[in-house]
Amino acid sequence: MITGSTAGSTAGADCLVRVDAVHLPIAEAVTMVRQFSHRDRAVHDEIVDYCLIRAEMLADVEPLTEDDLRAAADEFRDGVPLRDRAETLAWVAEMGMSGGQFEGFITLIARRRRFRRRKEEELAPAYLAHHQDDFDLVRAMWVTSTQPVNGEILRGLGGLLGCPEAAVVVGTRRARALPAPLRHAPRDTLIGPVAFENGYLTGLVLERRPAANDADTLALAGRLAFTEWLAARRERASIEWHWTTS
């Protein structure tokens, strides 16, 4: 649930947004904007997700390791980005932070990273089990074109010479990354021509290898599961934005 109010009506005057039990100060939000401004997602969505994860971390008092803090600092510098110590110190000064505040900021990033890593590891096995076919390794070729293409010519490709507007792709990908008509097709199966985007797709599945429970597959499953989990948390969250009216 998302609502809005004037600043100070239900929270302190320095609060930008409340997400469940987490109140995000404006100063902290400004710092986050500098981190998120280069990303594809809207900043307000990133802020809400940040608050949701903060809520999950409220009871986390487990000490962080030096590796945790180092990785968090590297992620922060890569995200802004900052190339060296001098640029980092300049950024800290620009944001009006003290050394202690910056250390606390990096500590929050480290706890957030650790929470996410553990949550992904927790969710990955079940997500993979429920979406096993999506993680198959599939070698396929397909043609996208403005006009329908006879699939039989994919076995030799020669016929495509007469179709100058056709784009041919050949490669091995996870099934979930293939065009939808090919994702779950068996080996040696011709698909199409079928309507696809603004034209047609014709494809041939050359090989399909069932997904294994290896580290790379579980890591990808964990990332996707975490995104799904976070979206569900966002749907259930009580979100109240605060702004000043003139």
pLDDT digit string, tens, across residues 83-111 = 888 998 998 888 788 888 889 889 989 99
Q: What is the pLDDT of residue 246?
A: 47
Half-sphere exposure of 96 (CA within 13 A, CB side): 4
Please tell me whether residue 26 adopts helix, strand or coil conformation.
helix
Q: Say whether 208 sits in a helix, a strand or coil.
A: strand
Maximum separation of any 2 CA atoms in the chain, in Å: 70
Question: 36 is written with which tokens?
Answer: 């998120």
CATH for 2-130+221-243 (1.10.4030, 3.40.50, 2.60.40, 1.10.260): 1.10.4030
The share of the chain scoring above pLDDT 70, in percent, equals 85
Give residues with Cβ within 8 angstroms of 58, minimum separation 6: 21, 22
Task: Please report which helix (H) or strand (E) contains residue 109, including its range.
Answer: helix 99-130
pLDDT in tens, 212-227: 999 999 999 999 999 9
Which residues lie below 8 Å from residue 61, measured CB to CB, with a gap of 6+? none
Q: Is pLDDT above 90 for 35? A: no
C-alpha dist (Å) from residue 88 to 72, 77, 83, 101, 214: 14, 7, 8, 14, 38
Q: Among the listed ranges 65-69, 94-98, 117-121, 190-194, which one has the minimum average pLDDT value?
A: 94-98
* Lowest-confidence region among 6-20, 39-53, 62-76, 113-127: 6-20
HSE-CB at 220 with a 13 A cutoff on CA atoms is: 18
CB 5 within 8 A of CB 23: no
Least confident of 42-51, 181-190, 225-234: 42-51
CB 3 within 8 A of CB 241: yes
- How do the domains of the chain map onto residue ranges? 2-130+221-243, 137-209
Of 64, 46, 7, the C-alpha closest to 16 is 7
